[in-house]
Each structure stands twice: as structure tokens, then as C-alpha cells.
Amino acid sequence: MDILSQRAAGTTVTMETPRPAETPKPEKPSGIGWQEEAAESRWLAAARWLITAAFVLGPFIFLPFTSAPVDFNKEAIFVTLVLGAFLAWLGDAFATGEVRYRPSALHWGVAAVVGVGVLATFFSIAPAQSLANIGLGHESLIGIAALGLFAFLFTAVFRSVREVRRAFQWLIAAAAIYGLFNLVQLTGNFFLPWSFAKNVNFTGAGGQNYLAIVFGAVFVLLVALVARPQTNEARSAALARFGYWLAALILFLNIVAINLRWVWVGLVVAMAALVAFWLGRVAQQHALSPSGQPPRPKGLALPMAILALSVLFVLFRVPILRGLIDVPVEVSPAYGVSLSVTNQALSERGPVGLVLGTGPGTFAYAYNKFRPQALNATAFWGTRFEQSRSAFTNVLVGEGYAGIIVWLGLAALFALAAIRVLYRSQSADQPEVALGVFGATVFVLVIWFLYPFNLAVSIVLFGLVGVFAFFERSEVHDRADRSWRIYSSSHRALGLSFLIILFMIGAVAGGYLESQRYLSGVYYGWGVERLNTGKNPNRTLTDLLRAVEFWGAEPAYYRTLAQAFLVQASQTISSYQPATGDLSAARSALQTSIQNAVSAGQRATQLNPADSQNWMALGLVYENVVPLVPGAEGQARSAYETVNKLDP
């Protein structure tokens, strides 16, 4: 009976209201970098921006305020940004009530590198220099610790691939802009107003060769991003792709202009790795294809072309732009000389030297003492090499075989993580960012065996390792972040809050000490400039004394201070007028200047007895006061004998 018949018969009819169709819940997208949308605190956003700034600005930034405008300023800015990001991340823990990060096996490798650096500094032949080194910040303990924290924070403050991609876009933009500036500078057109910048070899990365290495790493990343052809991409994606191509062209022109052979070797290996990955992807797709038809390989053309060009540049070292661009040749010890010096330096220290080396940043002392005597008959007899032939030999002499083991262990952990990440990426057809990071890291690790590092290159390497640790955890394991809820219980709240506060105090203290050290560098730069020009000697001494006051662990400050006191003593003698002058006051002033000069020279040797330059400065002080101070001749002879032992 239909409904109308039922109503005519007086039967009550109940009609069910149809339920609206349920909207299906969106499935969690599978693949790399998926994270649940959640409101984040401003602390976390600030930490991410600070780490991005350190990653983007670190390789290129410099300031004109110290005697080392690139290395010292770069280190101060980088350490400040990293410590600021660390504080912001800890602030996020208090704001959200939990500590979150992504653990990765690569973290253990980075922690081992930092740990060996701590031990090597403790047993160093020059602890002050190994702790903080003006020209070799990447080898000092301060630099090593900051780089390790930098790599860790990548997995703590980045939560999605989109955020990582944005950071790389900023890095690519910065590299392209600086690449344009460098191309102009290579032609001899200098726009910066400072005298130190009016040099073809000056770059924000610390030299043209180091800039080529940084550009090479970013170029490999770009090759991975643009190699695969895209179809039906959005307008914004097409514009980004055009920008990638333009940046790649600019960086490649810089690499060709600088023409560092080891960069081409690194590109050969990196491109071979990318080609091997794409061929592996084709083989896997063929194995999974139900039709059995082999798919056409996509993305091979560009890496293959770069590989072929790189091989040609390695085999035929012809400067293409000779006459238009002339990059100064950088001289460094041969690989055989570096290994010979290293072996002798480690053997002299015995078991401690073999295990932990002579201390980070101490190759110059080993080279002065153990260089081949045949070099004394060449034009390089007085050349002081601060670094050896490669980063590999620098680590060997500075941190011994323990340093080599942990670095090779980090490389092995990276290789294992790469196998897992790229295998997952092949099957899930994920973004090419992970592949680009893989290729760029391979490139820099190859350079590690062939050429010395500096802070700019180290920032790039540890940043890439940190990003790959992010991929290794979130893209392979698909696990949530590891977290500890602070306020889940009173005991946990007390313990975790106490630890966080301790870390915050440590970060603030580290920032304070770094600011003190930076201010000392600024005053030292002013003092050196006035000392060299001979203007206002009293202000020169004031600046140098302020430098020592802010940071009293730098022997170079005391060497320069001793020289300034000698100049003051000389001016006291030359300005004395027997007819009108006060003999007693002049004698007292002269005696004070001499005593201060001797004290400053002695302090330099106490801080770093392994450096022949400190003993040379002390010997010069005694030599200049021989007519005035009894016994100064013997002290000068003793200092020069020590110089001869340390630098025969």
C-alpha cells in the first residue's frame, strides 16, 4: 500500500527524514613530510626564521668592524643566530608544555664530532686557540659546538617539507644575488667602499675558491629540482621553476669563471650519484610495471650533461675566461707534505696525539715545526700555512684518528640514511628536495677529502646534514615527533623545567661571552689600524687594552699590545728634552712602558707556548730594551732559541 492509500484509510504514517550524506574524512596523505595541522607558537616560528637566517646568510655575510672582516664576523653572527634559535625553541617548550624534536641516527654522528672536538680541545697543545680561533672558527670548539647545535635544530624547528623548501628557496635566492655581484667583481669592478673588499679574491665566503664550493653545493640542489620535466604545473610553480633555472645558470657561470678543479671533481661524483638514483628509479618502476614495458627515464639529460662537462674540466684544465677574469692562485701544502707533517706531529705527542691529535686549529704549529727543510731554500720559506691540503688532513692533525673515525662514521650514517630516504622516495614519487640535499651533501663530502674547509662551507655541510636528518626521520619512519610533556606530573614538570632553565642560562651565557669576544675583536681592529698608521698612540693603547679586557684569551692581542708599548717607550725617549723635561717622570714612564711590554709578551707565550710568533714577539721586546734592562740580552737569546725549536 502506498503512502496516499494509507493516509486515506486513516493510518498514521511516519516518514523518516533522510540523513544528509556524510562528508568523507580526508585520508592522511601518505608520503614525505606530512604533518597534522596545528597552531604553532610564535617561539617556534622565531626559531625557524633564525635557523633559516643562519643557513641563508651564514655562507655569504661579512662586516667591516674587525681585523678579520669575513671569518670573525661570520662566526659571531652565526653563533648568535644559532643560540637565539635554541633559546626560542626552549621558549616554545614552555609555551606549549612539551619538548618536541625528531631524533635521527645522524644526530649521534654529529654529537660524536662535537664530543671528539671537546676532548681534542681539552688535550690541545694550544687550548686557547683550539677554544676560540679568529681565523679558523670552524675548527675552534665554539664553532664546532655551534655547528652541531645548528644541525640538531633543523629537526627540532622544521615540521614540514614546505618549510624546508622555503628555506632552500631563500638560500638559492641569496646565492643567485651574490653570484651576480661576484661576476661583476671578477671583472675588476668593485662597488664596496672598504679597502679590503677591493680585491678580486675577496668574497663573503672567504675567497673565490670557497665561494665556488658553496655555489657548487647549491647548484647540485638546483639540478635535482629542475631536472625532472613537469607537466600541468601551476603558474606559481612554473615561475619558481624559471627562477631555479636562472639561479642555476648564474651559479654555473661563477663556477666556470673560478674554475677550481676540485669543484669539478665534486660535481662529477654528485652528478654520478644523481644519475644512479634516476636509473635505479627506472629499474624499480620497470619491475613494478604490470605491462612489463620499461618506462622512459626522466630527468637524466641535465645531470648527464653536467657530468660530461665536469669530466672535461677535470681532464683539460684550460681557463676559459683568461684575460677577462683572472682569479688569484691560492697556495697550499701538497698532500704528501700535509700527511708527513701530520704523522710527525702526532707521533711526537705519543698515544694522546695519535688518538686526539694536537688540537683543533693547530696545523700551522705542526707545519712550522715539521715542514721539509728543503722548503727553506724556496720562495715559501717564510710562508705560514694555517691549514693543510684538505679538511681530511686538518681533522687528522687536529683531532687525531678519533676525529677521522667520527667523521667517517658520520659519512656512513649519512649513506645509510640516504639509502632509506631515496628508496622510500622512489616508491612514493615524493618531492625532489631530498634528492637535491643528498646530491649536495655528497658534493661537499667529496670536497672534504680534497680541499680545506672554512666556516662558510661548514655551515652549508652541517645545514645539509640537519635537513637530511629531518628527511630521514619524517620521510622514512613516518613517526611522530618525540616529545616530553612538561606538565604531565609535578615531578616531570620540576625536572624538565629545571633542565630547560639550565639550557637557557647556558645559551644566554654563551651569547654573552660571544658578544664580549666580538667587542674585543672590534677594539683590536681599531687598535691595529691606529698602530699601523701611527696616529694617536694613546688611543691605540686604550683600544688594545679594551680588547684584552673583553677577551683575554687571545695571544695575538697581547703580541700587538707588546708592540704598542714598545712604540710608547720609543716615543718617551724621543720626546724627552733634557733642558726642559722632567728626568724622573720620563724615567718612570719609560720603565712602565718596558714592564708592560715585557708582561704582554710573556702573557702571549703563556696562553699559547706552541706558537713561534709569540716567542718571536717576546724576543723582539727583550732585544729592543737590551741597553736599558740588565739581563735582557739573555732573555732575548732564550726566546729566539725557542723560536728556532718551534720553527726551524
- pLDDT tier at 583 (50, 70, 90 boundaries)? low
Query: Is the Cβ–Cβ distance between 146 and 85 less than 8 Å?
Result: no
Least confident of 21-25, 120-124, 372-376, 477-481: 21-25
Tell me how crowded residue 294 is: count the other CB atoms within 10 A of its CB.
Answer: 12
pLDDT of res. 70:
87
DSSP labels for 285-316? Answer: HHHH-TT-PPPPP-S-HHHHHHHHHHHHHHH-
Helices (H), 384-489: 391-428, 433-450, 455-471
List the grid coordinates of 447: 670536497
Least confident of 227-231, 348-352, 403-407, 432-436: 227-231
Whether residue 17 is predicted with pLDDT greater than 50 in this model: the reply is: no
How far apart CA 91 and CA 98 sit, in angstroms, is 10
Query: Is the Cβ–Cβ distance between 75 and 142 less than 8 Å?
Result: yes
- Identify the CA nearest to 476 among candidates 418, 436, 433: 418
What φ, ψ does residue 125 adopt, rounded to 5°? Answer: -75, -15
User: What are the extents of the domains in the chain?
Assistant: 160-480, 554-646
Residue 201, helix vs strand vs coil: coil
Query: Is the Cβ–Cβ distance between 219 and 263 less than 8 Å?
Result: no
Query: Is the Cβ–Cβ distance between 430 and 421 less than 8 Å?
Result: no
Q: What is the mean pLDDT of residues 617-645?
A: 88
Q: What is the mean pLDDT of residues 413-429?
A: 71
- Identify the CA nearest to 550 among candidates 525, 573, 583: 525
Query: 531 versus 432: which is more confidently predicted?
Result: 531
Q: Alpha carbon of 393 to those of 362, 387, 507: distances in Å? A: 12, 9, 32
Tell me how crowded residue 291 is: count the other CB atoms within 10 A of its CB.
Answer: 7
The DSSP symbol for 98 reads E
Query: 585 versus 149: which is more confidently predicted?
Result: 149
pTM for the model: 0.87
How far apart CA 208 and CA 325 sit, in angstroms, is 12
Q: How many CA atoms lie within 13 A of 316 on its CB side?
A: 5
List the grid coordinates of 266: 665534486
Tell me how crowded residue 217 is: count the other CB atoms within 10 A of its CB.
Answer: 30
pLDDT of res. 83:
95
- In this structure, what is the dihedral angle of CA atoms 213, 216, 217, 219, given to the nearest 10 degrees? 160
Each residue's pLDDT tens digit, 625-638: 888 888 888 888 99
100 pairs with which residues across the strands? 483
List the grid coordinates of 446: 667529496
pLDDT of res. 301:
83
pLDDT of res. 495:
73
How far apart CA 208 and CA 333 sit, in angstroms, is 18
Alpha-carbon 454 to chain mean position: 7
By percentage, how much of the chain surpasses pLDDT 90?
37
- Identify the CA nearest to 475 among candidates 160, 109, 222: 160
pLDDT of res. 426:
47
How far apart CA 463 and CA 154 sit, in angstroms, is 8
Each residue's pLDDT tens digit, 314-349: 888 766 665 566 677 777 888 888 888 889 989 998
How far apart CA 323 and CA 309 sit, in angstroms, is 22
Q: How much is the mean pLDDT over the chain?
A: 82
How far apart CA 481 and CA 454 sit, in angstroms, is 33
Whether residue 173 is predicted with pLDDT greater than 90 in this model: the reply is: yes
What φ, ψ does residue 479 adopt, rounded to 5°? Answer: -105, 155
Query: Is the Cβ–Cβ distance between 609 and 556 less than 8 Å?
Result: no
- pLDDT tier at 428 (50, 70, 90 boundaries)? very low
The DSSP symbol for 28 reads P
Each residue's pLDDT tens digit, 215-274: 999 999 999 888 765 555 566 677 888 889 999 999 999 999 898 899 999 999 999 998
List the grid coordinates of 67: 681585523
How far apart CA 180 and CA 176 sit, in angstroms, is 6
Residue position matching grid coordinates 646568510:
57
Least confident of 69-83, 286-300, 364-378, 565-579: 286-300
pLDDT of res. 394:
92
Each residue's pLDDT tens digit, 547-573: 999 998 899 999 999 999 888 888 877
- Identify the CA nearest to 527 among candidates 564, 579, 581, 489: 564
How far apart CA 70 and CA 298 sit, in angstroms, is 42
How far apart CA 633 and CA 625 sit, in angstroms, is 8
How far apart CA 205 and CA 198 sit, in angstroms, is 15
With 0-12 / 13-18 / 19 or more C-beta atoms within 10 angstroms meaning exposed / middle / buried, residue 322 is exposed
Reduced DSSP (H G I as helix, E B as strand, rest coil) percent helix, strand, coil of the chain, to 5: 70, 0, 30
Whether residue 38 is predicted with pLDDT greater than 60 in this model: the reply is: no
The H or E element containing residue 101 is strand 98-101
Q: Alpha carbon of 287 to those of 281, 297, 372, 387, 421: distances in Å? A: 10, 14, 58, 50, 19
Whether residue 395 is predicted with pLDDT greater than 90 in this model: the reply is: yes
- In this structure, what is the dihedral angle of CA atoms 61, 66, 72, 76, given to the nearest 10 degrees? -70
Q: CA 370, 343, 442 angle in degrees (round to 5)?
A: 115
pLDDT of res. 287:
56
List the grid coordinates of 500: 630547560
pLDDT of res. 12:
46
Inter-axis angle of helices 490-533 and 71-96, to 10 degrees?
160
List the grid coordinates of 22: 556524510
Q: What is the mean pLDDT of residues 387-393?
A: 90
